[in-house]
Each structure stands twice: as C-alpha cells, then as structure tokens.
Structure 1
Amino acid sequence: MTHVELPTAKFGPWAVVTGASAGIGREFARQLAAGGLNVVISARRAAPLAELGAELEQQYDVRHRAVVADMSQPNGPHHLIEATADLDVGLLVSNAGDLVPGEFLGRELQYAFDSWQLNAGSHLVLTHHFGQRLAERGAGGVLLVGAAGAESGIPWAAAHAAAKAYTNTLARGLHAEFAERGLNLTVLTPGPTRTELQSRRALPETGGTTVSNAVSTALKALKAGDVEVTPGLAARVLNSLPASMSRRISGRTMAAAAQSTVSQ
C-alpha cells in the first residue's frame, strides 16, 4: 500500500495522530508507521486503537502508544499532552473531528460549543503546545485537518463549517510564523472523502477521493513546506465556485443528509 516517507531526523522519532480510530486519522497512522515513525494514536474509542496499534507494530515494526481522549471536551487535549510528555515528538497530525448535519436552531446551544471544541479548539490547544516543543527542538511539523468550502458557510452544518473555517485560517496564518522557526505547518482541507463517516452520516460517497490519496497528498505537501492542500477534484471544484453557489450545493447535500439521519 502507498505511503509517503518523511525524514525521521526532522519529523521523528514520534508522531502524534488524533482521531486515529477510523478514516483519515487511521490512514495517517498507517502511512507514518509505514515510513518508520513511531506513532501515538488517540481517539475516544479504546478498542479500535488497540486493534490499530497491534496492526502497526506487527506490520511495520514500530512502537505505538494509544491514548484514549475525547477532543470534544476541554480536558481532552490536555490529557493527550500529559500522556506524551516523555516522548520526543517531531510531528503532530491534529485530525480529530466529526460532522453531524442538522438545523442550527433545532439543537441545544451546547452542540455548537462541542463542535467548536472538537473541530477547532482542540487543534488550537495542540498546535500551541506541540509547536512550542517543536520550536525548542528546532525541527518538526504540524498538519491540521480543516475542510474545503468552510469559509463560504454550509447550511445545515453551520457550526461545523464555522469551526473548520477557524482551523483553515489559523493554519494559513501560522504557516509563515512556524517557517521562521524552521518548522513545517500544512492544513489539509478535504472535501468528500470515502470513509465510514460518509455512510454513517448518510453523505454521498460518489465523487470523493480515497483516504489513501488524501493522506499521501497531505504528507507530500507537509514535506514540501506547502501551506495548504485540497485533494480530490470534487473538493477543488467546490472551492473554485462563487460562495453563493458553494453554499447552495453544500446546503442541499447537508439538508438531505440531515433528513435521512432523522428518518432512520
């Protein structure tokens, strides 16, 4: 299976991957391990982490550490920080996130706060902490996972899109600051990607890119020092549209997904 090898001298010996139990996060862990990096894998569910950790050690002869932490809660990032204090971390892949389409006014306000914490706040806290550690060692990188089209706003996923837009913008701004310290920082802004999330949230699976392509494209961009990368033709087309058209297309998709989820 494909993978992108990152120089261990800069990005190793340990990489931290959040949201590693499935989808893009799991593939990040696999490709990094295939490239010879030890990996800290973190997610809310213990069982998938244990399964993944055993697989990585057996197939790629690397070490792993599993950290169960909920990034939608304020103490989640801090738990991960404490659990990795003794490791020489050269790379942070802050990937944790989720999307549940639905009407803003049809939910409790707490949902929006939790969405921001998961899709933006956790990235902010982890980037600041690990960024400081990487600056002290003089080498390393951060890869954040945002979303394509978030800045245009997405009806029936408004709070989610706003949080992802924050992450996109944070990364673009920090890219130059990190470069001044010899660090790489890239934001992956995926559109439709064929993961279990697509089926779980009744989102269309056609026209999307694969997780393998999304991750390898992101790691190539990080290695090259690029600020942003958007894999997949569908996502790039969506990004090129006027904001009003992007909102209309995305809104119809999310409205249909929300209705399908309610009717299940």
Structure 2
Amino acid sequence: MNLREKYGQWGIILGATEGVGKAFCEKIASGGMNVVMVGRREEMLKELGKEISDKYGVEHLVIKADFADSRSVDKIFEQTRELDMGFMSYVACFHTFGKLQDTPWEKHEQMINVNVITFLKCFYHYMGIFSKQDRGAVINVASLTGISSSPYNAQYGAGKSYILKLTEAVACEAAKTNVDVEVITLGTTITPSLLKNLPGGPAGEAVMKSALTPEECVNEAFENLGKTFSVIAGEHNKKNVQDWKANHTADEYITYMGSFYEK
C-alpha cells in the first residue's frame, strides 16, 4: 500500500525510539511517508532517522520531547504545523510497579501525563487536522492490561484502558469518513525492555514462546486498518482473551494478572 498517496506526506510516531515505535517508523517509511520521530533519546532517534532515510528514500524529522511533561506537545505541534500530516501513532507509555499508595505521587503524575493527558492532546490535535482535510489515519497502541486490569501496575493498566476505549469510540465516529482510526492491543512483545527484564529458565522460555515481534504487531495493525476499530495482536492473545472472558470471572482474571507481580 502506498501510504503517502492515501493519507499524506508525513506521519508522526510518538514514542519512536525502539521496539514497536521503531517498527511503525519503518512501516510508514516503506509506504512512502516521511517520518516525524518523537521521543526523549535524541541521538538514538537521529541514528534511526538516518537509517530510515537511507533505506527508504524518505525525509525524517526528529523532535526531542518528554511525554511526562504535558507542555511538550506545544513544540511538537509547532514543528509539524506546516507539514502535510497524514498519519499518527501514539506508542509512548510509562509504568511503575508497586501498590497504588506505595508509589510516589510524582510517578503517578508522570504516568497520567504520558498515558492519558499527552496522549489525548496529540490524538485531539491530529484528529482535528485529519478530520478537516478528510484524509488521514491513526493507530494507537493499547495493552492486554487495559482489558484485564493490572494489579501492582494499576495506573498503567487504567491508562491503557483509556487509550483502548477512547480510540475505539473515535474510530466509530470516523467510520463514515476518509480517516481510518484503529487501536491495536498488544500482549507480550519482544522489545529491548522485555529482553532486559526477561526471567531465566522455563519462565523466560514460556514468555518468548508466546511473544510477538514489533514488526508482527505493526503488520497486523496495518492489515486491519480501515477494516476494524480494534484488534488484539496475535492469535495466541486473541484466544487467551476469549477464554478468560468465556470461562473465568473478572476477579479471577484480575487476580491472575496480579500474580505476575505480587511479592
């Protein structure tokens, strides 16, 4: 698919440095779109941008921004104001493990900003542009923790649920327009963060057996773009969600998810 012809010249990936964000950058570049890459690690983004431009013959723009600071969006919007924007994906996320009351309030504020406020500001801004021009696409990234709830990681799960339900609703609102909106819900995904924290032995092997690559997740997202409002990545994750909803109570599902982090 020539994404540039369908949606516009530029796409923005919010949380682009590695993993799923990097895969989104590669995907839209392979579809002919120039890439706005936003994240905290500027040097890594510059290196990635050069690689993508060299490989796909597209332009790139790097914007350094900390999503925990909700004011960071002002710079993002200003630097993309004159560009023909046609795609947005919000991949950024932030979480802290521990009981709600044991987590410092400063961390809670950072999570709210990354997972809710900055997300909403970006979604609102670019949907406004896409709606006005009646052209564009959005793929936001949620997590299975947004379906199950996530004890000992509670605010993260709630934030991902916010992204999931808000994007699904907006996708329906946009269904009769030329703006395609979708949310993809990820399970275990092979990212640098996962590999860094992967347990050893059989537990780690089990995780890797069910995990998807970022590229697999992004490809599935684009395969469903314009066809469905919401997709769960991977057959394994789809079957697990169906099983839990059909054969277990909500309490059992929540308790199961909490068992991974309970000390």
Question: Which segment is superposed worse, 114-123 or 202-211?
Answer: 202-211
Separation in structure 1 between the aligned mates of residue 123 and residue 90 of structure 2, nearest angstrom:
8
> Secondary structure at 1:145's aligned position in 2?
strand
Q: Could you tell me which residue of structure 1 aligns to residue 18 of structure 2?
A: 22
Equivalent residue, structure 2, for 1:253: 260
Superposed displacement of residue 225, structure 1: 3.2
Where does 1:87-166 land on structure 2 (aligned, <5 Å)?
87-166=83-162
- Would you say the 8 A contact 2:7–2:137 is kept in 1? yes
2:232 corresponds to which of 221, 230, 233? 230
* Shift of residue 137, structure 1, vs aligned partner: 1.3
TM-score (norm: length of structure 1): 0.89
Shift of 1:88: 0.4
Unaligned stretches of 5+ in structure 1?
260-264
The runs of 5 or more residues in structure 2 that have no matched partner are none
Q: Structure 1 CA distance, aligned partners of 2:126 and 2:91?
A: 14
Q: CA deviation at 1:221?
A: 1.4
Alpha-carbon distance, 1:133 to partner: 0.6
Match of 1:220 in 2: 223
Q: Give 3-state SS (helix, strand or coil) of 1:179's partner.
A: coil
Give aligned pairs, total.
251
**1:76-87 alignment, distance < 5 Å:** 76-87=72-83
TM-score by length of 2: 0.89
| Cα 1:32–1:40 shift into 2, 3 Å | same
Contact 2:137 2:181 in 1 (8 A): yes
Residue in 1 that maps onto 2:58: 62
Letter in 2 for 1:209: L
1:145-224 map, 5 Å: 145-202=141-198, 205-206=207-208, 207-222=210-225, 224=226
Q: CA deviation at 1:111?
A: 1.4
Give the CA RMSD over aligned residues: 1.7
1:202: Cα distance to partner? Answer: 4.5
Greater alpha carbon shift after TM alignment, 119-128 vs 38-47: 119-128
State the partner residue of 1:244.
251
Letter matched to residue 87 of structure 1: L
Letter in 2 for 1:15: G
Q: In the alignment, is the contact (CA less than 8 A) between 2:49 and 2:61 conserved in 1?
A: yes
2:237 partner amino acid: A
| % identical equivalent positions | 24
SS at match of 1:80: helix
Moved over 4 A (4+): 201-204
Give distance in 1, aligned partners of 2:213 and 2:59.
26
Q: Secondary structure at the match of 1:146?
A: strand
| 1:246 maps to amino acid | Y
- The answer to whether the 8 A contact 1:149-1:239 is kept is no
Separation of aligned partners in 2, 1:121 and 1:201: 28
Paired letter, 2:170: L
Deviation at 1:120, TM superposition (A): 2.2
The Cα of 1:16 is off from its aligned counterpart by 0.4
